[in-house]
Amino acid sequence: MSGALAGIKVVDLSRVLAGPWTGQLLADLGAEVIKVERPGAGDDTRQWAPPSLPDGTAAYFLAANRGKRSVTVDITQPEGQEVVRRLVADADVLLENYKVGGLAKYGLDYASLAALNPRLVYCSITGFGQDGPYAERPGYDYIVQGMSGLMSITGPADGEPHKVGVAVTDVFTGLYAANAVQAALLSRTRTGLGQHIDMALLDCALAMLANVGMNYLVGREVPPRLGNAHPNIVPYQVFACADGHFILACGNDRQFRAICECIEKPELASDARFATNPQRVKYRELLVGELASAFMCRSRGQWLDVLEAAGVPCGPINTVDEAFADPQVRHRQMEMHMQDSIGQDVPQVACPIRLSGTPLEYVLAPPKLGEHTDAVLLGLGYTQAQIDALHARSIV
């Protein structure tokens, strides 16, 4: 492979989403990623269906495991632990999301493997990190969305808190972890040594609060739940129109004046209560009421045409099928298809990273459970007879 991370070997002991998302991104960028799974069952998400492919592989699994080779290993057995140690001996990265201390009893913790391979970058992903009063707790995206404050700012202002429709704390943790892995690899070029990376879903969820978190730290006021409105910008929200809804994203005073012209109420732009964004935030309810009334007189398509022509940021609220059918999305080829080892068509959402010098290559579809076990073990120096014996005992 000729990707940006070509020559980097990753051993992926993680399962479900945050860890596998990290591994898939590294694979997309050209790393060799070997996914270590439990014999017989594999990653839990293989069974998280429907929907699934005709062979039963769940769409959930397909979302986070492209570009990997699957090896089944029972790490609870000494022979299985030896397989992992052989994999790690010349690896650059290990990913794991076991409970804190969970791999130490198998001799697969950072201290043990760093003694074997001092250059190893060992990335641990947990719900709450390697230390602190919650370190022993299992981590679930839904729970972390609640604990982090994210749900308190998501949903209708007068309704119950809502989770985000995607497991965003898992996905963000995967993105942060992939960045951390690459930073550690870069550091290794100077020091010659790997290091332990401690990633926590709760930490990442707090970090992704971004301006909302900073609003609290600066103003010390608890951010309210605003539904589809923005805490710092007005008007920046969903509006109803004659045949549905659309998004209006007004980012400055010039755009606001253009909106007022579009709705044939230019006097709003010169009203002292609305002339600047801080004033519009202060008098949010009054202004939104004026705009909401005006937008009901035309259809979504008409408003989008008028507002776009006036240079006002706006857009439709697409369903997922409409999003994939959007001409811009189709042009960018965000839906792509691969073929797996048994000839099935495997649809995929493409990686959004575009590199001019080392473009991404999609070589391996998400693997079948244990699909590459024998080939990988042969590459580690096992004989076929030894591999057959491990199969017979369900070690691999």
Amino acid code (one letter) for 251: G
Q: Residue 129: in which H helix or E strand, if any?
A: none
Catalytic residue among 12, 170, 198, 203: 170
Q: Which two tokens stand for residue 117?
A: 């391979």
User: In what order do the strands lie in the sheet containing 68-72?
Assistant: 68-72, 32-37, 9-12, 93-96, 121-126, 196-200
Q: What secondary structure, in 3-state letters, does 51-112 show?
A: CECCCCCEHHHHCCCCCEEEEECCCCCHHHHHHHHHHHHCCCEEEECCCCCCCHHHCCCHHH
| Three-state SS annotation for 30-49 | CCEEEEEECCCCCCHHHHCC
Structure tokens at 218: 């600066």
Q: Is 271 a catalytic residue?
A: no
- b vs e for 326-338, b when ≥16 Cβ sit within 10 Å of the residue's Cβ? eeeeeeeebeeeb
Which residues does the annotation mark as catalytic?
A: 170
